[in-house]
């Protein structure tokens, strides 16, 4: 039984890794088109989904140092994808928001990501999708 379970676990690992490689390849192609790195794209998602993000939030989320987070945000500001806004009550605190251009790029990336995911999900029927959702919920809850 142990060998069968081990073999099954390895097959599952291989399939998950293959799925990851497909996502990574497609996202790398997208990042090349937009001239953004993966972390820059992830930062746009984080800032979009976390209004009033601060430098420490980015550093903690991406497990990077504050100087690295500063360089990341500086690059995104120079690209006019995010803007810095001083806090109204404490001018030492800076929040990050997407610019109009950042919003447009975010939408492009999100649409591309959704298309990639749909290309995989379209191979499943309704029952298989429901089962997949149950399994994912069990793994991540």
Res. 1: pLDDT tops 60: no
Average pLDDT taken over every residue of the chain: 89
Collect contacts of 78-86 with beta carbons under 8 A, ≥24 apart: 79/36, 81/40, 81/44, 81/105, 82/43, 82/44, 82/47
Q: What is the pLDDT of residue 37?
A: 86
Beta strand spans in 24-129 (E):
82-86, 94-98
Helix (H, G, I), strand (E, B) or coil at 117: helix
How far does CA 36 lie from the centroid of its chain?
13
pTM for the model stands at 0.75
Protein fold of 37-140: Arc Repressor Mutant, subunit A (1.10.10)
* Helices vs strands, H then E, count in the chain: 6, 2
- Greater confidence (140 vs 127) lies with 127
The 10s digit of each residue's pLDDT in 79-114 is 999 999 998 998 889 999 999 999 999 998 888 888
- Greater confidence (87 vs 34) lies with 87
């Amino acid at each position: 039984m142990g060998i069968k379970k081990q073999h099954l676990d390895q097959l599952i690992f291989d399939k998950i890794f293959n799925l990851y490689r497909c996502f990574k390849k497609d996202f790398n192609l997208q990042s090349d088109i937009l001239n953004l790195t993966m972390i820059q794209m992830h930062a746009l998602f984080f800032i979009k989904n976390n209004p009033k993000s601060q430098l420490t939030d980015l550093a903690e989320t991406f497990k990077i140092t504050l100087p690295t987070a500063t360089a990341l945000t500086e690059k995104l500001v120079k690209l006019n994808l995010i803007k810095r806004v001083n806090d109204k009550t404490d001018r030492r605190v800076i929040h990050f928001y997407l610019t109009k251009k950042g919003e447009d790029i975010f939408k492009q990336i999100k649409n591309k990501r959704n298309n990639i995911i749909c290309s995989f999900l379209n191979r499943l029927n309704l029952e298989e999708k429901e089962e997949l959702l149950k399994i994912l919920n069990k793994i991540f809850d």
